[in-house]
Amino acid sequence: MSSIDFRTTHRLPLSPMRTVGIGLIALVAAIALLGPVIVPGNPLAQSLIKALAGPETAAPLGYDHLGRSVFHRLADALRLSPVIALAAVATAGAAGLVLGTLSAAKGGWIDRIFVMLADALLALPGLLLVLIVLAMVPGTALGFWAGLSLVLWVEFFRLTRAATRETLASPAVQASRLLGFGPAYLFRVHIWPEIAPMMLTAAAFGTATAIMAIAALGFVHVGMRAPTPELGLMMVELLPYWREAPLALLSPVVATFALLLGLTLLAGSRET
């Protein structure tokens, strides 16, 4: 009876807030993926004659202080940051899932080691860990991926460990063990259905956190190096010219806000 209720619950229609979140993410993805196809252009091409010029057919959002198309730079930035964030979340999620399941299943000194490691990393500010990695691999997507993965895996580990320990103590798992089913069956049938919704929610929040961290570090000149289009770097480059070209500055700000809001709504709204 409980398994039927579980499947029925997760087939309910999307909530309005989650629908809005999906719509915002789809809109941002359309700009990033289809924008350069509809309006071809080079995000690195400069034309100082057009510096801070307004929108035109070749540059729907105008030009920045170096005469580069804000639209094409924004489309590139909206591909770069989410790709890094999704790669970091995928790595962190896989590591947290494996280590959390192993910690809950084995217990003992294995559990204590993983918990101490997670607590030690959790005690440090996340941006500090990313900065430490970026100091070794400065201004690269690889550095962001490694640093963000190091920060994000802890949350996935803690969620997986807590849910797995509770599930392993349930009568259903005990019955499956008595019937001779192995670890792979227990994980597929009992553990994963319980932790999957939490993992997907954590993945959405983790992606938003990673994108925000990349933009924040770019805003203080610690992230990607110019002339690479990146949301935070675009904001800080255009900030001195907000009076002359307000649309150019607002474009990365609004795009970042829409992307983060979409991910937050997607993760935070649950069906009732």
Looking up residue 101, the CATH number of its domain turns out to be 1.10.3720.10
The predicted model gives 37-59 an average pLDDT of 91
What's the pLDDT band for 113 if we cut at 50, 70, 90? Answer: very high
Residue 205 lies in a domain: yes
- Structure confidence at residue 269 (pLDDT): 57
| 220: amino acid identity, one letter | V
Q: What percent of the chain has pLDDT over 70?
A: 93
Q: Which residue has the higher pLDDT, 133 or 139?
A: 133
Residue 206 lies in a domain: yes
Question: Could you give phi then psi for residue 54, rounded to 5 degrees?
Answer: -80, 180
Residue 41 lies in a domain: no
Alpha-carbon distances of 67 from 36, 124, 182, 193, 200, rounded to whole Å = 17, 41, 63, 52, 41
Domain count, the chain: 1
Residue 108 lies in a domain: yes
What's the pLDDT band for 13 if we cut at 50, 70, 90? Answer: low
29 pLDDT above the threshold of 90: yes
Residue 254 lies in a domain: yes
Per-residue pLDDT of 158-196, as tens digits, reads 999 999 988 888 888 888 888 888 888 888 888 888 898
Alpha-carbon distances of 149 from 8, 84, 146, rounded to whole Å = 34, 10, 5
Structural domain span for residue 208 = 77-268
pTM, 2 dp: 0.85
Residue 42 lies in a domain: no
Residue 239 lies in a domain: yes
- Structure confidence at residue 221 (pLDDT): 78
The predicted model gives 49-74 an average pLDDT of 92
